[in-house]
Amino acid sequence: MVVGVLIFDGLAALDAIGPYEVLSRLPGADMRFLATESGPKRTETGHLSLVADYSLADVQAPEIVVVPGGFGTRRLLDDEELLSWIRSAHETSQWTTSVCTGSLLLGAAGILQGLRATSHWAALERLREFGAEPASERVVEEGKVMTAAGVSSGIDMALRLAARIAGEEVAKAIQLGIEYDPQPPFDSGSPAKAPPHLVELVRSVAEQREAEAAEKPLSP
Binding site for a copy of itself (CB under 8 A): 12-14, 17-18, 20-21, 24-25, 30-33, 40, 45, 47-51, 53, 100, 120-121, 138-139, 149-153, 155-156, 159-160, 163, 168-169, 171-173, 175-186, 188-191, 193-195, 198-199, 201-202, 205-206
Instruction: Give the integer Cα–Cα distance in Å for 98 and 117.
Output: 10
Smallest gap from Cβ 80 to a copy of itself, in A, equals 27
**Which of 61, 77, 64, 63 has the alpha carbon at shortest distance from 8?**
77
| Residue of 3, 22, 100, 124 marked catalytic | 100
Look at strands 49-52 and 39-42 and give their pairing: antiparallel
Nearer to a copy of itself, 182 or 217 (CB): 182
Instruction: Give the integer Cα–Cα distance in Å for 1 and 78.
Output: 29
Q: Where are the beta strands (DSSP E) in the chain?
A: 2-6, 30-35, 39-42, 49-52, 54-55, 64-67, 95-99, 116-117, 133-134, 139-142, 145-148
Nearer to a copy of itself, 48 or 110 (CB): 48
Q: Any catalytic annotation for residue 31?
A: no
Smallest gap from Cβ 161 to a copy of itself, in A, equals 10
Residues labelled catalytic:
100
